[in-house]
């Protein structure tokens, strides 16, 4: 995470989020698949993300969605992991990018946050190259003076 990353705010009152059509199965993680998800994250992303995701998946009702193709996890998105009301981390296997998987996972997660009673969601630690994606997809706005919860990391 760079010094230029910023939190972004999403207004969940803006209406229901339209599901995104993609050829992958987007579903809430089932606990027996948690080890497979952690292995996927360690292989494609980072140990830090794997640690953060554990907070979302080790709940009775995991706050994590996965994208599946041919019984294999190819992407994920979590919410309420590091902090309540936060979206992320999220990632898609590089070989499967460009097929609206990330967008579908984001929208599914934001709708879940709204359904669980949140009025706003925070997308934590967004890198500048991702600002436009979030602005376009869910009308997120940069929180210029955010403290960024991830700056507390050791």
In a domain, 1, yes or no: no
How many distinct structural domains can be found in the chain? 1
| Rounded-to-integer distance, Cα 101 and Cα 130, Å | 15
Instruction: Report residue 52 as tokens.
Output: 């953060």
- Of 24, 5, 9, 8, nearest to 99 by C-alpha is 24
Give residue 19's pLDDT: 81
Mark out the alpha helices in the chain (DSSP H runs).
34-44, 47-57, 101-115, 131-138
Q: At 115, which CATH number?
A: 3.40.630.30
Sign of the C-alpha dihedral, residues 63, 66, 29, 41?
Answer: negative
Range of the domain at 100: 6-152
Per the prediction, the chain carries an average pLDDT of 93
Instruction: Report residue 104 as tokens.
Output: 């579908």
- Residue 17 has phi, psi (to 5 degrees) of -85, 130
In a domain, 146, yes or no: yes
Q: Stretch 12-24: mean pLDDT, rounded?
A: 85
Does the pLDDT at position 113 exceed 80?
A: yes
How distant, in Å, are the alpha carbons of 4, 47, 61, 132, 134 from that of 129? 10, 22, 32, 7, 10
- Residue found by looking up tokens 């376009």 in the block: 136
In a domain, 68, yes or no: yes
In a domain, 60, yes or no: yes
Please, which pLDDT band fits residue 36 given cuts at 50, 70 and 90?
A: very high
Does the pLDDT at position 100 exceed 80?
A: yes
In a domain, 36, yes or no: yes
Question: Please, are residues 126 and 134 in contact by the beta-carbon 8 Å criterion?
Answer: yes
- Of 137, 131, 150, 153, nearest to 8 by C-alpha is 131
Q: Kindly tell me the number of DSSP H helices and DSSP E strands found in the chain.
A: 4, 7
| Rounded-to-integer distance, Cα 112 and Cα 106, Å | 10
* Model pTM score: 0.92
């Amino acid at each position: 995470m760079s010094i230029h990353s910023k939190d972004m705010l999403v207004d969940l009152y803006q209406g229901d989020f339209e599901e995104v059509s993609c050829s992958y199965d987007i579903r809430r993680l089932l606990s027996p698949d948690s080890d497979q998800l952690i292995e996927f994250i360690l292989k494609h992303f980072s140990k830090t993300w794997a640690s953060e995701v554990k907070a979302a998946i080790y709940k009775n009702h995991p706050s994590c969605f996965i994208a599946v193709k041919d019984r294999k996890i190819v992407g994920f998105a979590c919410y309420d992991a590091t902090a309540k009301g936060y979206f992320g981390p999220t990632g898609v296997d590089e070989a499967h990018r460009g097929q609206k998987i990330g967008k579908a996972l984001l929208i599914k997660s934001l709708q879940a946050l709204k359904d669980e009673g949140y009025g706003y969601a925070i997308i934590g630690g967004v890198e500048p190259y991702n600002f436009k994606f979030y602005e376009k997809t869910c009308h997120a706005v940069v929180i210029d003076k955010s403290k960024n919860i991830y700056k507390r990391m050791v």
